[in-house]
Amino acid sequence: AAALLGEPSPGFWARRLRRAAGLEEGPAPPPEPEFGSLAHRLALLGLRVPPGREAAAYPAVLAAGGLLGLAGALALGLPLLPALGGAGVGVLAARAFVNSRVAALRRRLERELPAALHRIAALMALSASPVELLRAASSTLLMADPDSPLGRELSEAAQRVASEGPAAWERLMERARLISPSLELLYYQLFRFSQAGGAQFAEALRASAAAQARLLDARERARGKGDAAISSLRIIALVMVGLLTFLVVDPVYSPVVRSLPGQILVAAAFLAMAAGYWLISGMVEDVL
């Protein structure tokens, strides 16, 4: 009768009560996107889109950057063609901002690796279980920083090894290859430790931690020099925008800038500036 009247069945209310009491699990959360994928980059911006919709959301983000660049150029009083060049700069800036979130997350994770390696190496004398080692290292990192990317990564790795067994190590190493070679090496060492054990693996992890610390120190110094070069490019870009604003406002040079050849030249200068910034910043990221 309840079904004929459109009312919920008794089983419906029983399931609701069991779920409220914690006796029945709710719907499974959506799987985490692959590191560095388009869905992952959008998630780092706070944009959770349904699976399969990433290809539509990403152009929308780029278009928003282009509209901001266009609005800024028009607010400076630039003519239409230079303003379209400003829109192109906005698109490239939005693209660089989206990609920079992944690079920043990778840098945070790599900074935490030496301490995690030392922690795991110290605990190898007390536990022969790689799962327990991963859990101990992840809990230490998450206690110090609840948003620790390495803490979440190691916690997820421990869960996968505990549920899937030795077969999970290969998939973990494949995933770590996209994140950091040092993380891949850690998973490989733990995999070998799970097979053979022995104090030599603790010594290898300590040596790896020391080498990783030296590598990160050298990379930070190189990154400082690269950031200085990119900051110089930003200063040059700001000077150029200020100069163009002056030329547009000045009654003597304004007719030249607003002419068709002048507009084409200014738009080309905008695009060349954006392309040069994108090229040099990409070269810096590839080296580091």
Cα dist. 181→6, 184, 210, 270, 283 in Å?
58, 5, 15, 38, 19
pLDDT value of position 25: 46
In angstroms, rounded to a whole number, what is the distance separating the alpha carbons of residues 216 and 194?
28
Nearest to 58 by CA among 41, 77, 75, 44: 41
pLDDT value of position 42: 76
| 64-81 pLDDT per residue, tens | 888 998 888 788 777 777
pLDDT value of position 199: 63
| 228-282 pLDDT per residue, tens | 777 777 787 778 777 777 777 777 777 877 788 877 887 777 777 777 777 777 6
In angstroms, rounded to a whole number, what is the distance separating the alpha carbons of residues 149 and 111?
10
DSSP structure class, residue 76: T
In angstroms, rounded to a whole number, what is the distance separating the alpha carbons of residues 118 and 108?
17
Written as six digits, the tokens of 11 are 């089983």
In angstroms, rounded to a whole number, what is the distance separating the alpha carbons of residues 127 and 240?
61
261's torsion region: left (phi>0), alpha (psi -120 to 50) or beta?
A: alpha
Which residue is it, tokens 């104090």? 199
Check if the beta carbon of residue 111 is closer than 8 Å to that of residue 216.
yes
* pLDDT less than 50: residues of the chain: 1-10, 12-13, 20-29
Burial per residue of 142-175, b for 16 or more beta-carbon CB atoms within 10 angstroms, e otherwise: beeeeebbbbbbbbebbebbeeeeeebbeebbeb
- State the DSSP string of 123-153: HTTT---HHHHHHHHHHHHHHH-TT-HHHHH
pLDDT value of position 218: 76
